[in-house]
Each structure stands twice: as structure tokens, then as C-alpha cells.
Chains A and B, each alone.
Chain A
Amino acid sequence: MRMLQAKHDIPKLLELMDQDRELFVPVRDEGGGRFARWSDLDLSVNEDIENTLMLAGEATRRPAKDQLFAETATLFRFRLEQGDFHLEEPPPGPSPRVLFGVRPCDGRGFQVIDTLLVGPHGGDTAYQQAREANLLVGVGCKTPGPDCFCTSVGGDPHSSDGLDVLLTDLGDAFLLESITEPGRDWLSGLQKHGVGFLHDAGKRDAERARVAQHEARQRVPRQVDTSRLPKILERSFNSDVWATVAPACIGCGACTFLCPTCRCFDIQDLVQGSRGARVRVWDSCMFREYTQEASGHNPRIRRAQRWRNRFYDKFHWSGDGRGNPACVGCGRCITHCPSGIDLVEMIERVTSAEGGA
């Protein structure tokens, strides 16, 4: 299902979207941008909207993952009463929401997170509820960011993987395409209410979209060959190449916390008086504490080991369940690494150090 939406009508469309689902949009802020509730924003004029919403291709620095896989999620609460513990009902899942303006790489990121948190054997209830409650409406990247390399890892600035609806920027209008069944239902619901500014798209519009998408693909600034990595990594575990990052990496959590596919967590009990909550918080394999064992032993004590783990997680032992790496090429870990470590450069280095042998 395809529909066309004139760009100057975007505010109307967003108002409409906010009717039966809560709307979240990518907002520029002092910290490089994040998703925020539409109704909390004070945007009176269109200009504000254009400057504030991040729809052109620059990704929010905090990935969309934090909307579904929160930094801190309460799993359940408990209390001590007359010497007995009582469990309280887990908090209800979120009400239906729509995430508008998800970058295609972030959309693909959810597929990676799904492999861990939505399992055939259960999975993480809080995440699953959030996953079901959120309709993901992506906007293709007209101007990809400085470190984007999505096309090198099976993605595309207009990839629809993991999204329910995808928008393509046609200059003066957006083309809306439904990808999934829920996306289709939602779009037709919108059209019913959006009479007058949401139109059926024609063949010509689809053609324009294809051109725009092709052009955007050419603008992805970085390329690297990842096709040989799976094979190379099979024999690179003990390579010297990992030692090259060790003197630079400071072992912080910036790369993993900003990554749309990093999904490690820790479980903690917060207790205050006779009440408490069990929470799930983000964790990072770049932290030394992550593998600290109670005995005092730490199997990944060195930074080269921890960095290697992150690399192997992205390119070897995890994936999106569809044959692609667990890195979606968003470039955040490159742009924001305080130590200047560049994942693309590392891929090149691993490939050239080990590829020939």
C-alpha cells in the first residue's frame, strides 16, 4: 500500500498519528538527539518542526532501541510484609505507540535485539510487550551521516527490514509504503482520517522514490568488504590484530550503549525499606566488571579481549537471524568513540592482517 504526503502537511499527519497511538519522534537536543513524546514538544511553527525533528538522515545519537529496550526497566516489584515477601503484579506493558522517523539501521537493529530477547522459549516479557505495542515507521536517509556504512552490512538507507512502514523523501513530499500487515492497517486508518492531505500514490511517485533511494545509496560515505569476515574470524581469535586497539580503548560504554544492536543487560534488585523492585539495566561487554567472577577471576580482563568480544559479537557469533551481521552499520560507535577507534578501519585491518593467510 502506497500513499503520498505533501511535506508541508507533516505536522497535520503527526497530529493525526498521535490520535489513537502515542507518537514518538526523533528530536534534536543538546546531546545529539533522541526519541521523545510528540505531545511533550512545543512546536508551534513548521520551521521549528523541520529544525527539531531529525528526519533527513542524521541519526539520533541515542538509538531508537532505548524506546523498546529501556536503560532501566522495572520487571516487577516486591514488598516485605509481616516477614513474608509478596510479589506485585508486573507493571502493564506500554499502550499502543508509534515510533515515527526510525532510521532504517535502527529498524534492522531491532531484528538483532529480537534474536536474544524474543526467543522461541519465552524471552523478555517487558521487551516483547514494548515490541508489540510499537509500530515502527521508518524514514529513509536522504543524507546519510559521516560514518554510515549500512550498505556494507546488508542494509540500505531505505531498507525496510524490521519496519512496519517506510517513508521516502521525494523532496516536496513523502511516499509512505506499508511493509507489514499492521503497517497496512494503520496506514488505511490514517487515510480515512487524513482525507485531503493523504493521497494514493501513483506509478510515477513510485518511480521517483526508486530514483531517490538509488541516489541515497550512492551517498553512503563509507564502504568496507565484510563478506570474508565470517571465514576470517574463524581463525583470527588469537590474532595480534586485537592488540592494536588495546592501547587506545579506554573501556567505556559509549560504543555499546549507543549501538542499536547491543542488547546486554544486568538484573538488579533495588530495595528501599520494605519495598523493592527488580530492574533490568543496560550492561556493556566493554566494562571490566561485566565478566568479573565471584572468585575474583576475570576471563576477559584485558581490553584487547573485550574489544575482540564486541567485534566477534557483531560479526561472528551473533547476527540478525537472516544471515546478516549483528552490526547494522549506523556508525555511532565510530563517530562517538572518545579514543578515535574506527570500526571500519578495524574491519579493514582484520581483513588485511588475516585475510591473505
Chain B
Amino acid sequence: MIEQPTEARQEGLVELHDISKAFDGKPILKDINFSVDKNQFLTILGPSGCGKTTLLRMIGGFEEPDSGTIFLNGKCINGVSPHDRNINTVFQKYSLFPHMNVYDNIAFGLKLKKQSAKTINKKVKDALKLVSLSGFEKRSIEALSGGEQQRVAIARALVMHPQVLLLDEPLSALDRRLRLDMQRELKEIQVKAGITFIYVTHDQEEALTMSDKVIVLNNGAIQQIDTPDNIYNEPVNLFVADFVGTNNIIDGRFIEDHRVSFLGAEFECDDVGFVKNSRVHVIIRPEDFILGEGGKLSGHIRSAAFKGMVNELVVLVEDTELIVRTTTHYVAGTDVFLDVIPFNIHVLTEEKADEKV
């Protein structure tokens, strides 16, 4: 299909159509299609090296796609320079200017726009307030903690009033506690500022907690575009199931609609439409097992570890190790029965997964 770059579009604020990109002949991104709506928090989630940064750099204008079209407000922005895009970027390593103080960093773009000193002053103050750094104007960049530098970088981009803010793993350099705080803060900032965020991360927890929509990327190809809920509960293929959260992926056989067998037992399930008697993968979340005195599966507890609120067990059923989470206390070395309700059984085949993508 040939794109009409000038054609006005009614759909998303940012749209990518059939974007492909290769470096030195090696394909990095293949046929990327997605759209982002106004005020949406979109996360691109994928392992390191899968092409996330490259994708973001193309939206920001630092890299040109080999083929395909990028639209902003329905207008093709291929070839448009970064600062003519009304899109700003928060870079992975913040990239603040170390020879300027906080105020001058944030005011940098506004000064280039030749805005009046008064306007700049007000905008910088507002931006600092938004990122909870009021009073930090005169601080030098080197005197700031990682989290504070991160917030200055966000303020410096937000002050330009972009329609879209691109963030490349902005929290990856922070320690866990700070990262959790910043996740919440970022989400608040996004809502308060009313700006579309396109956020890149390899951390599934981050993606699921902050986003309205998640794109799972692997090897330069989109695996699934969905709400965090669906990504978590309805992974369309093994990669997503494996990458997003800890999952048990068990070999099984699809007997007929609503019936699947695995680990030597037959279960009722909600899935339909697979080939009868075909080999399938069964996905079960660790917290979805029911443990007790009775159940279809009998297992032996290999190990038990207390992790915060839950016990994480490794249970051996036949020759398969299952990861099981429970709030009840169990000790290693004992036997236990397991069961699963139909709703929590998720059947997948690679073929079906490919169809859905």
C-alpha cells in the first residue's frame, strides 16, 4: 500500500506506518505500525538491543527510517529536523549541560525561542514546580542526585510545551526505591501537564504500572500492542508471556474446545479454536495455582522462599518445575496438591500467536 504523506488524518496524534530501519545492512526494525492518541502514556517495552532507542530516535528526528512514514497531527514528519517537530526528548543519560545551573538548563530552549525574560522566568518556575524542584534554580548540575538530574531533564523538555514527550529509559540509572517513587511522579506529571508520553523501557513492571498502552517489541518486530492488563493476562505469544512477568510455560495438548491436558491431567479452560489434539503451550501465572489437600496435580515442594508478602515455591510436578506464589506458609520437602480454575489457564501456540500479531 502506498502512503499519501499529505493526506490529512483523523486518527492518532503520532502514527507510524510500515517503518523499517537497517544499520549496515542489518535490519533493526521491521514494519512497525502503531498510533498514539492525545494524552496517552504509551510504553515501548522490550529487551535490550531490540530497537527501542532507534524507534524513539526516529520519532524524535535523530534518525530517519529507511522506509515508511511518521505522522504527527496527520502530517508527515519524515525529514523534519528535531526541533521543528513539536516533540521533545528526555535522553537516557539525561544529557544536561554541566556548565550551566538548573535554571539555565531549563531556560536553554526558551532563550533560543527569544522569549522575554519574564516569560522564561515564569515558565522555568512552573516547570520546576511541576517536577517538585522549586528553589533549585541556582544549583549546579553536578551537585544534584540522579533523581534530581532526571527531573531537571524532564523539566527542560516539558518547558518547551511539546505535544509529545519521548523518554528513553529515564529511570534505569536510579536505584529501586527512587525508581518506584519516580514512576508514580512521572505518571502524575504526565497527567498534570496533559502531554502524550512515549516511554521506552526494558522493565516490565515499569511498563505495566505507568502505561495506558504497551507495545512489546522483540528483535525489531512488534509482538503485541495492548493495555497493561491484557499484556499481563493475555499474552499473545510465548515471548510476551515469558518477558512480561514470571510465567509457567507448560507443554500441553489441546483436546477440544474448552478442554486441555497437561502434566498428566485434563483441565477445563476458556480457550477455543485450536486444532484438536494439537500440541500447545499452557501459560499459568505463579499466583494462579490453588494449593491444598486435594487437586488434579500432585507435586513436591523443592524450595520455599519468603519474598515480601508472598511465599515463592518451586514445585516439582512430574518432571516439570512450577513456580508457585502463595500467601500460605509451606516448607520445602513436603508434598502438595495443585489445581487451576479454567479462567487462569491460558493456551497458546506459536501459529496462533503469529496470526494475532
Do A and B belong to a common assembly?
Answer: no
**A interface residues with partner B (beta carbon < 8 Å):** none
Binding site for A on B (CB under 8 A): none
